[in-house]
Structure 1
Amino acid sequence: MFKAKIYVNYKPSVLDPKAEAIKTALTRMDHQNVQDVRYGKYFELLLQGDDEAAVRAQVEEICDQLLANVNMETYRFDLDVA
């Protein structure tokens, strides 16, 4: 059994309005040293299987087809034995 921890963020070339709003709010709160904010999504999947390579390929397929808009977002994931 494996646990996939998936992180999805906008690509650097795509404007992230939520992150910009957070950064503006932090500046107004006198947190002047905050240089950048990245806003994203986080998912955890628990998957049955013995073959790590097959599970890794399955997680990539799930991300590409459902969890991330590959035109605007990037993703990365960690796969741990559960």
Structure 2
Amino acid sequence: LFRTHAAIDAGRREPWEFGPEVLEHARAALVERERLRPYFVTLSQVARMTGAPYVRPMWWGAPGDRALRECEDAFLLG
């Protein structure tokens, strides 16, 4: 997931607007996203066939685990 746009009044958000260090990190993230694109396409197809989301909460595989239900800063992908 990646977006460079925002609300009209939010100002410029393009990676190059924040300097060379941010641009370098943004470039690396985009390269990684492109590397993973076939995987994301496959995840989308599986989600369409099964109805299960491909971005899942941590408790998805163990719904009875209370600690996982309280986790709000991590997720499963795939």
TM-score, normalised by the number of residues in structure 2: 0.26
Structure ranking higher in strand proportion: 1
Structure showing greater radius of gyration is 2
Q: Which has the higher helix share?
A: 2
Q: Please report the TM-score for the alignment, with normalisation by the length of structure 1.
A: 0.25
